[in-house]
Amino acid sequence: SGSHHRSSTEIVNDIKTKATYMSNSAGATATGPALEYCRDHIFQTSTGMRANSRRTILLFTDGRSNRGPSPGPVAQQLNQHPYNVAVYALGIGQNINVAELQAITKPRSTTNPLVYFIFQ
């Protein structure tokens, strides 16, 4: 059939690789590119996502993205057809940029509302 379904081990290893890259990025916070990666590589049936599966992103952030495109428009794109991803943003830490969390979770769809929470 030509489609490749990734095993749980492959997915976990991919996340570990990306987390290692993120921890070595010298203070840069690339939330927009991270969401683009999810859009382009994770939420695709060609990479193993089931066509009718529930799609959710749980984003932990201080809302201080400083590299790449703004995360708000990317999150809004994910919330629309054909992706239909529910995005939940959890504000973590001190001095959270609430405006960025609101931009990420600005509702565009009644089917998949976006929500943010703040924990300080």
> What does the block give as tokens for 97?
């940029």
With a cut of 70, say whether residue 61 has pLDDT above it: yes
pLDDT at residue 2 in the model: 47
How far apart CA 113 and CA 85 sit, in angstroms, is 9
CA 39 from chain centre, in angstroms, equals 8
pLDDT at 100: 92
Categorize the per-residue pLDDT at 39 as very low, low, confident or very high, splitting at 50, 70 and 90.
very high
pTM: 0.70
pLDDT band at 116 (very low <50, low <70, confident <90, very high): low
Q: Is 91 helix (H, G, I), strand (E, B) or coil?
A: strand
Residue 8 CA to residue 14 CA, distance in Å, equals 10
The two structure tokens encoding residue 106: 């600005």
Torsion of CA 91, 108, 113, 63, to 10 degrees: -10
